Chains A and B, each alone.
Chain A
Amino acid sequence: MTMRGASGSAKGLRRGRGATGDLFAAPAASPAGRAAKPRPAPAAPDPAAVPPARPALRQLWLALTFTTLPLLAATRGRGSTTGAPLVVVAGEGARRTVDAVNAAAARAGIRPGFGLNAAHALAPRLEVVEREPFEEARELRRLARWATSLTPWVSLEAPDQLLLEVQGSLRLFGGAPALLGRVGAELEAQGHAVALALAPTSRAATWLARAAPGTLIDSPATLAGHLARLPLGATAWPARTLEDCARLGLETLGELKRLPRDGLARRFEPFVLAELDEAFGLKPAPRRRYLVPERFHERAELPAELADVAELTPYCERLLERMGHFLRARTAGITRLTFLFAHRDQKPSCVVLGRAVPAAGVADWQGLLRERLMRVTLPAPVQTLTLRTGAAVPLPGTSAALPGFGSREAVAEAAALLDRLRARLGETAVSGVCLVPEHRPEAAWRAVRPEPVPLPGRTHTGIAALPRAPRPLWLLLAPEPLVVRDGQPCRDGRLMLESGPERIESGWWDGGDVARDYYIAVTRSGARLWIFRERGARRWFLHGVFG
């Protein structure tokens, strides 16, 4: 809030500039004169002690000011805002001031900084919305996540700026003009208007982006000249500090910079000198780096409640695209993601997509999403849409394949097949198997999640522990009772016992105890069956078929 006050008075300053232009020299002398008084020796910073200008590593900072952020945040989910004049206001009661205007309001002559009454006077049918600081902060964080696709060094400058260290990225994107073009295009696609500036120090970049957008300075040599022309309002210092400067007749950074340092140190709060040094590159300006969260979790606002899956698909894909930015910044992939559809007066429904190997590409997921959405029936119209991912995992490296494990392409192909099958048939419909060292026939194997690459310890499980006696190729899920005639088990007539018995007695410890004598029997028509007699009850059961 203080920032907005500051920029308000900054405008006041700039408007006054023409009138006081010729008085530059005179008032500037006065503070200098006052500063020449005997100085308190120990406290004042000694100009000679300031470290020399160049930081060891050359940096280039790109500052982005999102000029329409308050407007976008406050009107999010309202559909079009272009028609009627609309203003975003903040403040209490009579002091409510306009913070942002849409195009129609700007045409009516309303400017940010106006009182609400003045705005109403200019546009009688004015639409007024409250500013949404939380929504703005969230959107800024989202933009920071987007920016991590351009450089790993992104810093949030609340309320409406991002700082990107781009020296390292210039070569990748083909130079500053190409990078800026890309930034502009991608932000425009997301509906943001941006004012940007490029400078060798982070502080200078933020100031330039605020007061002289479009300034591109790539060498420290020309920095001082550009900065000296900036109005003090660019600094977004508290209103009181700016008023103090104005009272001294100071208008530009250059005038402030020309004052003796010890006087500045005494007269103003410490941050003034510190920030000035940072801007001119006399002092390093540490920035807190924005760290991208582990999981992607974002909501998409829908223009209206949507009942049709086809209408919903573009919004799902837009979220996927943002997830793609997120994953690219982390060089990571995910194996699982969830779309949550919120309904009115009803529990949200969800669509879960999974892949066998981590995938980051939007295209990888889009195919699965389309496959799945085709078969989704929505229980009710959807109000909002949320995309949540599982934890991001590093993408598998590109090392050569191990012999016996198949080539990388083969593994990718196998994984893609698994994904397609699972997406359409469901997770449980597709399974692999593994052996379990266990005497009970029905417990001697287990369904497992199939893996395109065998996991250590899963291969050749229990080959050595295989039963010696023959086992049927088909095992019935539940043993089928056999009819007994004259004490002989029957199925298609009397069964001939071919071999047996094989006694299996096990499982007393887990309640599933069995005591069975297994025989191989042949039917009249020649089918070979695996049957058993329960030792206690002496009943006969069919358990398997030798396919």
Chain B
Amino acid sequence: MNASLDALLQSAAIWRARGAFPDPAGLAARGIVRSGWPRLDACLPGGGWPLGTLVELLLPRAGIGELRLLLPALSRLVESPAPGRERRWLAWIAPPHAPYPPALAQGGIPPERLLLVATDKMPERLWAAEQTLRSGSCAAVLAWLDAVDDRWLRRLKLAAESGDALAVLFRSLGRRAEASPATLRLALEATPAGLDLWVLKSRGRGPARVRDALTA
């Protein structure tokens, strides 16, 4: 009984009114994927990364643990796909370095699922991100797009909403003050102990801080 109640509460369509009001637009999110980090999940509406909408991660610089943060969710997307959507890609649009396949494989992501798109021109990056989001053949789209204007952000959000991919934008921390249509906005901060997260914007919740997010 309790187990089935738990399962029901995991559904994206169910919003628990704990300290917040249910968002009617929340149904637009196509479900969630558990981030794999319990402290973070506790702070995210629905208990995981929202799918089919835009997630924005603001970084002081590349390589502070942003991939480790996403790795469990990516591997979950690959391991337990929806029926008929088994072979979908994890698209990487213009990453700052080469993601290292052996390390990803250690994290449970088969390398043949990776789709790397390398281009240094911003219009083409945006176009590629939009195309991958719209195509429906990507389980996740990770895009490194820093200087994006509001119009394009909205366009990307629309593209993300047309599918059910985990859509993550990586931008610099300097964009923190700029408005963004992203459904979920997190700022990352590296600390000697690990990684601190600031939930800047999330549906139905106020700002929050997650200390040492990458510990169990």
Interface residues of A (CB under 8 A from B): 404-407, 410-411, 413-414, 416-417, 420-421, 424-425, 428-435, 441, 444-445, 447, 450, 452-454, 458-463, 466-467, 470-477, 522, 524-528, 544-547
Contacts and interface: CB of A to CB of B under 8 A. Distances in A.
A416 B136 CA distance: 11
Instruction: Please indicate which of the listed interface residues B62, B86, B101, B115 has the most CB atoms of chain A within 10 Å of its own CB.
Output: B101
Contacts of B110: 459-460, 463
B41 interface: no
Given A431-B115, A547-B62, A547-B63, 14 more contacts: A407-B84, A414-B89, A417-B131, A430-B118, A433-B111, A452-B87, A460-B110, A462-B105, A470-B103, A474-B67, A522-B192, A525-B190, A527-B190, A544-B100
Nearest to B117: A430
B98 interface: yes
Contact of A527 (B63, B117, B135): B63
A474 B116 contact: no
B97 interface: yes
B191 interface: yes
B160 interface: no
Nearest to A529: B63
A424 B192 CA distance: 43
B65 A432 contact: no
Contacts of A525: 64, 190-192
Nearest to A405: B87
A445 to B, nearest CB: 4
Interface string B106-128: 11001110111111000010011
A445 B117 contact: no
Contacts of A424: 124, 127-128
Instruction: Bin chain B's interface residue count.
Output: 35 or more
B71 interface: yes
B206 interface: no
Given A413-B135, A417-B131, A417-B137, A450 B87 contact: no
A458 B131 CA distance: 26
B190 A466 contact: no
B136 A413 contact: yes
A546 B102 CA distance: 12
A58 B203 CA distance: 75
B12 to A, nearest CB: 22
A185 B191 CA distance: 75
Given A454-B112, A473-B67, A474-B67, A405 B106 contact: no
Interface of B: 62-68, 71, 84-89, 95-107, 110-112, 114-119, 124, 127-128, 131-132, 135-138, 190-195
Contacts of A466: 102, 105-106
B112 A432 contact: yes
Contacts of A470: 103, 106
9 contacts: A411-B87, A414-B137, A417-B131, A421-B131, A433-B114, A447-B116, A461-B111, A470-B106, A473-B67
B71 A435 contact: no
Contacts of B89: 414, 450
B135 A414 contact: yes
Contact of B84 (A410, A460, A474): A410
A405 B63 CA distance: 33
Contact of B102 (A404, A435, A447): A435
Contact of A410 (B65, B87, B98, B131): B87
Contact of A474 (B87, B100, B105, B132): B100
A458 B87 CA distance: 14
B101 A406 contact: no
A462 B117 CA distance: 23
Contacts of A428: 118
Given A406-B85, A421-B128, A445-B111, A430 B116 contact: yes
B88 to A, nearest CB: 8
Contact of B97 (A429, A432, A477): A477
B132 A454 contact: no
A397 B193 CA distance: 56
B156 to A, nearest CB: 16
A471 B119 CA distance: 26
A365 to B, nearest CB: 18
Contacts of A410: 84-85, 87-88, 136-137
A547 B66 contact: yes
A472 B192 CA distance: 18
Nearest to B138: A417
B98 A474 contact: yes
Contacts of B124: 424-425
Contacts of B194: 526
Contact of B131 (A405, A420, A461): A420
Given A466-B105, A547-B63, A471 B86 contact: no
Contacts of B98: 474-475, 477
Contacts of B107: 473
Contacts of A526: 64, 190-195
A444 B102 contact: yes
A425 to B, nearest CB: 5
A472 B100 contact: yes
Q: Which 7 A/B pairs are nearest by Cβ-Cβ distance?
A: A547-B67, A545-B63, A471-B103, A414-B137, A417-B135, A475-B100, A406-B87
B116 A431 contact: yes
Contacts of B117: 421, 425, 429-430
Contacts of B85: 406, 410
